[in-house]
Amino acid sequence: MLANQASYPAVPSPVIWRLWLIQSLLLLLLAPAFNFWSLAIFALLLLAKLPQLLLSRPAWSLKLSNLLALTIVSALLLFARDLGVLHLMIHLLLLAAILRLLGFRQNDHADVQQLLWVQYFLFACCFILHQALGMALLVFMLLLLQLQSHYLAFAAPGSTFPYKSALKTSLIFVPLWLGLFLLFPRIAPLWALPGAKQAMTGLGDELNPGSIERLVESDELAFRVEFQSRLPQPDELYWRARIYDTFDGNSWRRRYNNDLADFSKIKHNSNLSFSYKIIVEPHQQRHLYSLGVPLKVNYPQRIDTDALLSSPSVLSQRASFQVQSVLTPVPDFPGAKNNTNLQLPPGNPKSRALAAQLAAEHKTPEQLVLAIGRYLREGGFRYSLNPPALSGDQIDMFLWQSKSGFCSHYAQTTTFLLRAAGVPARIVGGYLGGEWRDNQSYLEVTQRAAHAWVEYLHQGAWHKFDPTLQVAPERLFASLEDLLSAADLLRLEGNWLGRAGFAKQLLQQLEDLDYYWSRWVLGFDNEQQQSLLGSVKNRLLELAALDWWYYIKIILLLLTATLLSRLLWLRLTTAPPVISVWLVQELSPWLAKTPEQTVLQYLAALGHHSTLQQQSAVVAAHYQQLVFAGDIKAEKPLRAEVRQLKKLLKQQRR
């Protein structure tokens, strides 16, 4: 029964303008996925549409479009393969859309259908690249334009977009849409998809003196945390991210660990357990952040034997996950090879001698660590963001010559000394502290909080030790800016904004808004859906438990409310009757007005009929004054006189 496709009227040119505008803005939004020459080609192609739009030149032929498509696609495949699968897909989709627009046939509706289809897909690509609140709002605004052009392409030509009824329709549509979003069952990721390829940020694969300093210069957001349990103390906020355990004399390489572990059965003090939700900014790497030992994390994030969290794929967009952690030393896995944690390259003889001496004086690792701390504290070391460069035997040079450094210097020195003394040790890279926001409702951790500390093995568990605190104990409670000298501060980015009070406040409010956007919209997941459904169910159960009398009351309340609003509406919308109509209505019980009579004739007839000529003459005079002389002030006395006339008529009847 599905007969031939209905013929449509030709697509009007305002729609084509809109499609062109949408594509241009899509190109701008998707620009991060392009390299400079592909961006230039696409921009030129879009400009090539302008002569068609402005000077009504004919559309390109299919042959030309196909030839161009072939050339550009092969160029992309040959020279832009390093862009990655996702970016190439975005290129191809946008190319298809632009070429279809260049060869657009107004009479063939298949063209506009395909074009709209591909553009909807490109909007999804925009959301892969942009999730921050501002950008997302921009994309949604553009989506409204797309919906409008979709409507106009399938409406009668010359018709305008019905904004009023669209607004009314959105009253149904928006709840339906959000309801689907909130209630439609979600599936877990089925397979890993190629992510957007961008430069890695955050902690790298290698740690050397200087890498943390570079990180700290940036004020960029790393992640945000909302605690469901009690808020942790400043000395508990050590966010573990990576472990560096291989030293080659210059830098520390990170440990690659693919063994998964389950810590959920370890005994712990409930006072030290925390549950929190982390929203991570994309850093194009796989590591995630957690406090202490993570017991539970939601799928597909995983926990390895080093008690570190990681994501199965590279993090190229904002992600959020729920963690439960306990602040105990990380249990050591017996299978793990601890000899790497004792490994040291040759060199640094003075440090080795120092380590041997300390080891001889202190038998247990705990005492040894304290001794190293004392050595650093009392040895005249300085905390600085801008220490002199180290070369050769780095550890020796630091301990006896420069004596000034940042957290990575202290961490690597301590680890070296511990290993040289025979205690397995490693460097942990992560973040320390963070800034409480919006009345302590969430913690914001920026790259400025990047930090490195030490873990040493003692009685089958890795204990935390932060040597930096021996030198700069204030680091725990104050932000980095407060600890640094003026010269160091100049190296930090974004400080100029912090100085202007008003701008800072506005910026913070925007950041708060962005946080809640991430928390509630981007971070809405299966678990929250379940809890939402649960609470709805509870409400319904509560309702069911109520007495039937309540229902009757509610129904009565609703009924009266609707009636009242209806009455109010009628009153507001129906205009009061014209004065002549009102007058005749008032007096009609005594004498009906015939259609050919004027109001004045009627009044005269009434006067004659009821022998109240005098009063009816007064009414007629006022009526004339109001209607013919246009004296608005006469309305009140007229009404009064009409009532008076009515009164007299009533008396007469008796």
With a CB cutoff of 8 Å and minimum separation 6, the contacts of 516 are: none
Among 17, 127, 516, 582, binds another protein (CB under 8 A): 127
CB of 226 to another protein, least distance (A): 17
Between residues 8 and 516, which has the closer beta carbon with respect to another protein? 8
Between residues 113 and 338, which has the closer beta carbon with respect to another protein? 113
Between residues 55 and 180, which has the closer beta carbon with respect to another protein? 180
Determine how β-strand 293-297 pairs with β-strand 319-326. antiparallel
Choices 19-27, 187-195, 272-280, 450-458 (CB under 8 A): range interacting with another protein: 187-195
Buried b vs exposed e over 97-117: b needs ≥16 C-beta within 10 Å?
A: bbbbbbbbeeeebebbeebbe
Q: Does 189 bind another protein (CB under 8 A)?
A: yes
- Of 451, 458, 488, 622, which is the active-site residue? 451
Site string for another protein, 8-27 (x = CB under 8 A): xx------------------
Q: Report the alpha-carbon angle 345-348-350, nearest 5.
A: 145
Lookup: tokens for 145: 């334009």
CB of 153 to another protein, least distance (A): 8
The full DSSP string for 550-594 is HHHHHHHHHHHHHHHHHHHHHHHHSPPPPHHHHHHHHHTTT-PPP
Cis peptide before 234 (omega within 30 of 0): no
Among 17, 151, 333, 582, binds another protein (CB under 8 A): 151
In the 8-state DSSP scheme, what is residue 384? Answer: -
Q: Is 466 a catalytic residue?
A: yes
CB 396 within 8 A of CB 348: yes
With a CB cutoff of 8 Å and minimum separation 6, the contacts of 150 are: 116
Q: Which of 252, 201, 213 is nearest to 448 (CA)?
A: 213
- Of 304, 332, 396, 466, which is the active-site residue? 466
Determine how β-strand 404-405 pairs with β-strand 382-383. parallel
Between residues 118 and 587, which has the closer beta carbon with respect to another protein? 118
Between residues 169 and 401, which has the closer beta carbon with respect to another protein? 169
With a CB cutoff of 8 Å and minimum separation 6, the contacts of 148 are: 18, 161
Among 106, 113, 625, 644, binds another protein (CB under 8 A): 113
Q: Is 622 a catalytic residue?
A: no
CB of 353 to another protein, least distance (A): 53
Site string for another protein, 72-111 (x = CB under 8 A): -------------------------------------x--
CB of 580 to another protein, least distance (A): 33
Q: Is 87 a catalytic residue?
A: no
CB of 317 to another protein, least distance (A): 6
- Of 91, 109, 150, 407, which is the active-site residue? 407
How many other C-beta atoms are found inside a 10 Å radius of the C-beta of residue 589? Answer: 11
Among 36, 191, 502, 549, binds another protein (CB under 8 A): 191
Q: Is the dihedral of CA 451, 456, 458, 461 positive or negative?
A: positive
Q: Does 582 bind another protein (CB under 8 A)?
A: no
The residues in 154-183 that bind another protein, with binding defined as CB under 8 A, are: 154-159, 169, 172-173, 176-177, 180-181
Among 36, 163, 184, 502, binds another protein (CB under 8 A): 184
Length of the chain equals 654
The residues in 516-555 that bind another protein, with binding defined as CB under 8 A, are: 521-525
Between residues 37 and 181, which has the closer beta carbon with respect to another protein? 181
CB 460 within 8 A of CB 234: no
The amino acid present at 286, given as its one-letter code, is: R
Between residues 173 and 436, which has the closer beta carbon with respect to another protein? 173
The amino acid present at 517, given as its one-letter code, is: W
Between residues 23 and 131, which has the closer beta carbon with respect to another protein? 131
In the 8-state DSSP scheme, what is residue 339? Answer: G
Lookup: tokens for 131: 């999730």
Number of amino acids touching another protein (CB under 8 A):
56
Choices 2-10, 211-219, 415-423, 439-447 (CB under 8 A): range interacting with another protein: 2-10
The full DSSP string for 31-55 is GGGS-HHHHHHHHHHHHHTHHHHHH
Q: Does 193 bind another protein (CB under 8 A)?
A: yes
Between residues 139 and 634, which has the closer beta carbon with respect to another protein? 139
Determine how β-strand 221-227 pairs with β-strand 273-280. antiparallel
3-class SS shares of the chain: helix, strand, coil, % to 5: 55, 15, 30
Helix/strand/coil for 492: coil
The backbone torsions φ and ψ at residue 304, rounded to the nearest 5 degrees and listed phi first, read -100, 180
CB 201 within 8 A of CB 215: no
The residues in 317-346 that bind another protein, with binding defined as CB under 8 A, are: 317, 319
Choices 67-75, 136-144, 440-448, 484-492 (CB under 8 A): range interacting with another protein: 136-144
Residues that bind another protein in the complex, under the rule CB under 8 A:
1-9, 109, 113, 117, 120-121, 123-124, 127-128, 131, 136, 139, 143, 147, 150-151, 153-159, 169, 172-173, 176-177, 180-181, 184, 186-193, 195, 317, 319, 521-525
Active-site positions read 407, 451, 466
